[in-house]
Chain A
C-alpha cells in the first residue's frame, strides 16, 4: 500500500492517539493524559507525538506555571492543529475505508 505524502503510518497506536486528541477538540493534553485516553502504555505515546508534531499535525507548548509554587515541573501540552485535525479525520476515514475493503463483510461466506 502506498502511503500518502505527509501522512504518518496509521498503526493502531497512532489511530488511538489521534482519536484521543480528536475526542477533545481544542483541548490541550499532556503525554500521560493522552496515553490514558488512548489506552496506551507509557513510552509509546511520545514517539507518536514527536512524529505528528514533525508533520505539523500537532503542536505543543510548555505549561505556564511557576514550578516552585506548583511543586512540580511544567508539563508539555499537546493539541491538534486546525489542519492536523482535518488531516487526522481524513486519514482515519481512509483507514476505515481500507479496512472495510480488506476485511470480509459479516454474513459473507
Chain B
C-alpha cells in the first residue's frame, strides 16, 4: 500500500474546502484521503473527480443537519392551510444523492409532478398522484 497520487490527494483536499471549516472538514478530508490508499493509482483520479462532483451534496448533507426533518418532526399538527390544501410553503431540498425537489416545510408534503430527468425515486417521487 503506497501513498496516493499527489494530484488525486490534492483534488480530494480541494473538494473538502467546500465543507464548513473545522472538525467536519478535517474529518472528511482525512476520511476521503484515507480511502485513496485502497484504490489503485490508475483509478484514483476518477475517484477524486467523483468526490469533487459530489462535494456540494456532501456539504448540503452535513450543513442541513436534516433541518427539514427537524422542522417536520417538531410540528405537532399540520397547519390548517396544509390540511385543507389551501397552500403549502414549498422550499427546495435535496435528496441524499443530491437531487433537488420541493417540499413543504410545514407538513413535509412533496410537490408532485416534477419528474426528475434522472428518473423517479423509489419512494414515489416524480410519480404523478392526485392531490
Contacts and interface: CB of A to CB of B under 8 A. Distances in A.
B110 A3 contact: yes
A83 interface: no
Interface string B91-110: 00001111101010001111
Nearest to A70: B1
A71 B1 contact: yes
Interface string A1-22: 1110111111111110000000
B95 A5 contact: no
Nearest to A96: B122
A14 B108 contact: no
Contacts of A51: 61, 66, 96
B46 to A, nearest CB: 8
Interface size class of B (residues with CB under 8 A): 35 or more
B69 A6 contact: yes
B127 to A, nearest CB: 6
Interface in A70-103: 71-76, 95, 98-99, 102
A11 B97 contact: yes
Interface string B109-122: 11010000000011
Contact of A1 (B97, B98, B124): B124
B58 A47 contact: yes
B121 A11 contact: yes
B33 A73 contact: yes
Contacts of B41: none
Nearest to A3: B108
Contacts of B72: 3, 5
B34 A11 contact: no
A71 B37 CA distance: 9
Interface of B: 1, 27-28, 30-35, 37-39, 46-47, 50-54, 57-58, 60-62, 65-66, 69, 72-73, 95-99, 101, 103, 107-110, 112, 121-125, 127, 129
Q: Which 7 A-B pairs have the closest CB atoms?
A: A43-B50, A43-B54, A50-B61, A5-B73, A73-B34, A72-B37, A48-B96
Interface of A: 1-3, 5-15, 30-32, 41-44, 46-48, 50-52, 54-55, 71-76, 95, 98-99, 102
